């Protein structure tokens, strides 16, 4: 009887150790809602008590009514579809170009000596400093916005891809030489897998930067339809409910992109682990 007590105690301790992290993780998910809920509650109280000019800080009810009108009327979907179309196009062009340039910079010392200094100078130029030149060359339409978004996505992909390729573990490269891998085999079996985390970080940053740049491009290159144009419309007509609703949409879309990118990263990490 006495011998079974320690075993039971250790079993209970093990179950507690397993359940506690799950409980902590579950509570952690909900803790992130504390600040937004508190902010909305404070916003509602200030608007109900008329402590702030209602023209500057409209009530949550009015923003909700505007949201329903924008959603049911289809205006939100047209604006969101146009913005996401530009964002994904610019993201794709910038990412593919960045992967190619980053690999070349990381693999070829001669190419790096030739192009590296120019690229390092190029990446120091503020993204929005390109707006005047792009608007003159490409106008104010979708082409100019896609070019701008491509530049936003290009730099983080090039930098992270180049670093990942260049920092392949020397021990793995030595093993590849021992097994007499060709250059292509060394790249695909050693360099690329070891650089994958850095490359994915660059792609993740490109996705976020291109979405932020989408709103800036639509705000500065005002021709066309988009979420940025929705914000401009609300600002010009002093419709704070439309402005606040547009900001909520921008934040929600950015959060969804961040969440999907993290899920994809975890999925790829699991697949890489299975392959190993």
pLDDT on residue 55: 62
Is 262 contained in some domain?
yes
- How far is Cα 165 from Cα 144, in angstroms, rounded to an integer? 32
Within-domain flag for 9: no
Give the number of domains in the chain: 1
If we measure between CA atoms, which residue out of 112, 212, 213, 210 comes closest to residue 159?
Answer: 112
pLDDT in tens, 25-65: 555 567 777 777 777 777 777 767 666 656 667 778 888 88
Residue 14 lies in a domain: no
Please check whether residue 214 lies inside any domain of the structure: yes
Q: What is the pLDDT of residue 275?
A: 52
pTM for this prediction = 0.77
Domain residue limits at 253? 60-275
Q: For residue 274, is pLDDT > 60?
A: no
| CB-CB neighbours of 55 under 10 Å | 8
> What is the residue-averaged pLDDT of the chain?
81
Query: Tens digit of pLDDT for each residue in 149-198?
Result: 999 999 999 999 999 988 888 888 888 888 888 888 888 888 888 888 89
Locate 160 and state its tokens.
């992270």
Highest mean pLDDT (candidates 48-52, 121-125, 226-230) = 121-125
Rounded CA Rg of the chain:
25
- Angstrom distance (rounded) from CA 42 to CA 34: 12
- On whether residue 94 sits in a domain, the answer given is yes
**Does a structural domain hold residue 127?**
yes
Instruction: Mark out the alpha helices in the chain (DSSP H runs).
Output: 4-31, 34-48, 60-73, 75-107, 109-122, 131-138, 142-166, 170-178, 183-186, 192-220, 227-236, 240-275
Alpha-carbon separation of residue 97 from 42, 152, 256 (angstroms):
46, 12, 25
**Residue 4 covered by a domain:** no
Under the banding of pLDDT at 50, 70 and 90, the label for residue 6 is very low
pLDDT attached to residue 27: 54
Residue 180's CATH number: 1.10.3720.10
Answer for the pair 117, 163: CB distance below 8 angstroms, yes or no: no
Spell out the residues 6+ positions from residue 128 whose beta carbon is closer than 8 angstroms to its own.
216, 220
Close Cβ partners of 197 (under 8 Å, ≥ 6 residues apart): 164
Q: Is 28 contained in some domain? A: no
The pLDDT of residue 192 is 86
Cα separation, 261 vs 205, in Å, equals 10
Closest alpha carbon to 199 in 98, 114, 57: 98
């Amino acid at each position: 009887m006495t011998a079974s007590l320690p075993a039971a105690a250790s079993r209970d301790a093990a179950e507690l150790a397993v359940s506690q992290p799950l409980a902590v993780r579950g509570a952690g998910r909900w803790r992130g809602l504390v600040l937004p809920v508190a902010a909305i509650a404070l916003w509602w109280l200030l608007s109900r008590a008329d402590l702030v000019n209602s023209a500057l800080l409209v009530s949550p009810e009015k923003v909700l009514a505007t949201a329903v009108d924008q959603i049911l009327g289809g205006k939100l979907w047209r604006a969101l579809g146009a913005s996401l179309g530009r964002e994904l196009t610019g993201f794709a062009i910038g990412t593919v170009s960045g992967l190619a340039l980053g690999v070349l910079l990381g693999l070829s010392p001669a190419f790096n000596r030739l192009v590296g200094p120019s690229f390092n100078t190029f990446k120091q130029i503020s993204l929005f400093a390109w707006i005047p030149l792009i608007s003159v060359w490409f106008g104010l339409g979708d082409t100019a916005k896609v070019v701008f978004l491509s530049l936003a996505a290009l730099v983080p992909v090039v930098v992270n891809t180049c670093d990942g390729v260049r920092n392949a573990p020397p021990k793995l490269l030595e093993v590849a030489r021992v097994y007499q891998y060709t250059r292509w085999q060394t790249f695909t079996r050693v360099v690329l897998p070891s650089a994958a985390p850095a490359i994915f970080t660059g792609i993740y940053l490109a996705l976020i930067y291109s979405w932020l740049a989408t709103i800036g491009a639509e705000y500065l290159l005002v021709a066309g339809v988009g979420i940025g144009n929705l914000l401009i419309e609300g600002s010009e007509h002093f419709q704070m409910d439309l402005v606040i609703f547009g900001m909520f949409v921008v934040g929600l879309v950015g959060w969804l992109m961040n969440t999907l990118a993290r899920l994809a990263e975890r999925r790829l990490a699991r697949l890489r682990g299975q392959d190993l």
